[in-house]
Structure 1
């Protein structure tokens, strides 16, 4: 199984209650927030329910490392450093930890103080259309490996 990067694209106005609850359980409360989830049937069902408000795909090691290094925050809004990773896990650097997370040897929750949500900037050059699916030249829904391009523009 792989890890999925899920990014909320649209805002909160006129969202059905059921969709709002699902977004809250995914920890996506605001636009441009990103979470890393395990790919399984429960997650896929939740993503399918809120597909009109989010985009998702498989994250690669390089972008997970960038996310952790530049946007990884601890409680108290402190940055994630190699020292914190080595104190809380068996890995010495952020890049080793990112590789272990993708290989399912470690979990992001191994670092207790790490916030589960990555707060990203809006993408450089913007979203194409926040009302169309990715297949229809928009920004919503499943985008596979191309999520890495979007994350690169948002870090």
Structure 2
């Protein structure tokens, strides 16, 4: 006579089997979604490369046309800047402290992307002795995000190790991968504010070779203030 299996054991086995089937189904759905997301991200990356190249070629064409006509071509005004805090809190006035806090530059060597408009330009002028800023190149924007990029998820600093981190926070803004993030920042797109706020302030190292003179403006041979495109050299030494 064979032992009969208690009903409670059979029920538990059935429940476990059901849970396992649901887990497998969810896992498969996630895998398919990730594969689809990778395809979309790859297509977008190709599209962005073409767009950047077209913009570059257009600028070259306009410069040549201006030169041929005997005119001077003025490059478009930068739409955004990268701002790096280069000095500490000693001697800061309450106003300067507040602006640095608004810019999310709470620590020395922190860096953030900022959209340039009348308000932010005035803020930057007020804190010029404490920051270095300028217009980063596409290569530098990519280096910052890929090498030092962390996302803000539920108030926590999370490494951007997977596109799902970006999609989870910015999917509603049609930003699903790192290349979307780079493109939104570099072109200063309509969702720049969300993309910039999603990125935790970059924590950079002290520059190789050190600073020249932190207390002097860049135009006077120092380090502070607006460096224009020369900010790229400084960031490369700090990443």
Question: Normalising TM by the smaller chain, what interval?
Answer: 0.7 to 0.9
- Could you tell me the TM-score, scaled by structure 2's length? 0.59
Aligned partner of residue 34 in structure 1, secondary structure = strand
Q: Is the 8 A contact 1:81 1:94 kept in 2?
A: no
| Structure 1 counterpart of 2:207, from 109, 123, 130 | 123
Q: Is the 8 A contact 2:208 2:237 kept in 1?
A: yes
| Counterpart check, 1:100 vs 2:180 | no
Alignment of structure 1 residues 1-155 onto 2, 5 Å: 2-75=79-152, 76-83=156-163, 84-86=165-167, 88-89=170-171, 90=174, 93-105=177-189, 106-107=191-192, 109-110=194-195, 114-155=198-239
Q: Is the 8 A contact 2:109 2:203 kept in 1?
A: yes
Q: Is the 8 A contact 1:69 1:81 kept in 2?
A: no
Q: How many residues align structurally?
A: 154
Question: Larger C-alpha radius of gyration, 1 or 2?
Answer: 2
Structure-1 residue corresponding to 2:39: none
Q: Residues 115 and 101 from structure 1, CA distance in 2 versus in 1: closer, same or farther, beyond 3 angstroms?
A: closer
Aligned partner of residue 52 in structure 1, secondary structure = helix
Q: Residues 110 and 141 from structure 1, CA distance in 2 versus in 1: closer, same or farther, beyond 3 angstroms?
A: closer
Q: CA deviation at 1:100?
A: 3.0
Structure 1 Cα separation of the partners of residues 196 and 206 of structure 2 = 27
Task: Report 1 or 2 for greater relative contact order, CA contacts < 8 Å, sequence distance ≥ 6.
Answer: 1
Which consecutive residues of structure 2, in runs of 5 or more, have no partner in the other structure?
A: 1-77
